[in-house]
Amino acid sequence: MHLPNPLALQMWTLRAQGGPELLAAIKDVSHIGYGAVEFAGFGTTSAKEVRSVMDAEGIVAAGSHVGVDALEKDFDRIADYHEEVQCRNIIVPSPPAGFEFTAESWHDLGLRLAALQPRCESRGLKLGYHNHNRELERFDDAPALDILLKSAGPSVGAELDLYWLAFAGDDPVESIRQRADACAWVHLKDMSRSTPPTDVEVGEGILEWASILQACQDACVEWFVVEMDNPPKPGLESSAIALNNLRKMGVTW
């Protein structure tokens, strides 16, 4: 399978969210073979420093996770930063603090994204939302994620986390197909065979990757992002295992 963009690694896997650790992690990610990163924060690291290391390593930005509260409070500074590091995708990674997990709250969160979307578009940015398992809770048989995406509008994308879809009891393949119009990015991590399950490297668990990757390709997913919340091995080692397994599956760019 040929991908339109290089495989990316979500930097939360390495717990790299700013400072010297972030700059070192960008180099490490490049050295094990990734061509892109998805940021989990920048801390106080300047955009100039980040961009300099990215350019030196030949790394590009697949996207960046930014909370909705931060976007609402400090949009122009965030947009300026992303412009300097040439990162055009901003994904809200979860509900804000104090969120009430009700249908009305998911609808209202979608409206907040809808209000931010024109501002993002005016700066050449695409806005999206990333799911965990609670986004698949149902209200009158409608998953919370679909309530959110409907109120957010068709210009707001979805970053489907395939592990969390499966953890919630959904079929990742069907979830991708049902949300193909919104699914601009996917998070790739596998599910262990243990009970209870946890996330493991792609290819080391029970998810059916041939079908999943085909569904992603059919949906014209833009970015494939490897991520682990709890990597079984040191983050960089697990990231390399996932990348090598994807290559064995025929995933190239």
Contact 201, 245 (CB under 8 A): yes
0.85 exceeded by the pTM? yes
C-alpha angle with apex 182: 178 to 185, nearest 5 degrees? Answer: 105
Let me know if residue 75 belongs to a domain.
yes
CATH of the domain at 87: 3.20.20.150
Let me know if residue 49 belongs to a domain.
yes
Q: Is the dihedral of CA 20, 21, 26, 28 positive or negative?
A: positive
Domain with 118 in it: 8-248
Let me know if residue 253 belongs to a domain.
no
Angstrom distance (rounded) from CA 27 to CA 21 = 10
Domain count, the chain: 1
Let me know if residue 236 belongs to a domain.
yes
Amino acid residing at 157: G
User: Going by DSSP bridges, is the β-strand pair 142-143/138-139 parallel, antiparallel, or unpaired?
Assistant: antiparallel
Average pLDDT for the chain: 97
pLDDT in tens, 120-158: 999 999 999 999 999 999 999 999 999 999 999 999 999
Q: What pLDDT does residue 242 have?
A: 98
Instruction: Provide the terminal-to-terminal Cα distance of the chain, rounded to the nearest Å.
Output: 8
Q: What pLDDT does residue 38 have?
A: 98
Residue 24 has, within 13 A of its CA and on its CB side, a CA count of 7
pLDDT in tens, 102-126: 999 999 999 999 999 999 999 999 9
Q: What pLDDT does residue 253 have?
A: 86
What is the CB neighbour count within 10 angstroms for residue 247?
Answer: 13
Angstrom distance (rounded) from CA 131 to CA 162 = 9
Let me know if residue 159 belongs to a domain.
yes
Let me know if residue 3 belongs to a domain.
no
Residue ranges of the chain with per-residue pLDDT less than 50: none
Quote the radius of gyration of the chain (alpha carbons, Å).
Answer: 17
Q: What pLDDT does residue 1 have?
A: 87
Q: What pLDDT does residue 245 have?
A: 98
Q: What pLDDT does residue 36 have?
A: 98
